[in-house]
Amino acid sequence: MSYRYRDEMTPPPPERASEVAVTRFEHVYEVDPALMTEHVTQQTFPNWDTLRLVRSRAGHLAWMHAHFADKVVSGEELLDDLDR
């Protein structure tokens, strides 16, 4: 196994997904790093770790819901509550 720092630590170029979001990997959206410079700066970590986190997030959310949630509220429901 070989490790090439540039290949592992340099993400693909971003593609604009919206005014505030970019995507670098298929189905992975992130806040545009240009908007994250003052309060919450982006951390640098390997490309493989980004993909690992994405693959495991559904399992993590399922575990959290099973152990801590009395009910799961959709984002749509939250937005409806804000509109009232």
How many domains is the chain built from? 1
- Paired tokens of 14: 């971003």
In the numeric block, the tokens 């995507």 are attached to 23
What pLDDT score does 19 carry?
96
Q: Supply the range of the domain harboring residue 49.
A: 5-83
Which amino acid, one-letter code, is at 41? T
- What is the distance between the alpha carbons of residues 26 and 1, in angstroms, rounded to a whole number? 25
pLDDT (0 to 100) of residue 1: 63
Q: What is the pLDDT along the chain (84 residues), one digit of tens a residue?
A: 677 888 888 999 999 999 999 999 999 999 998 898 888 877 888 999 999 999 999 999 999 999 998 888 888 999 998 888
Could you tell me the pTM of the whole model? 0.64
Residues counted in the chain = 84
pLDDT at residue 63, as a whole number:
93
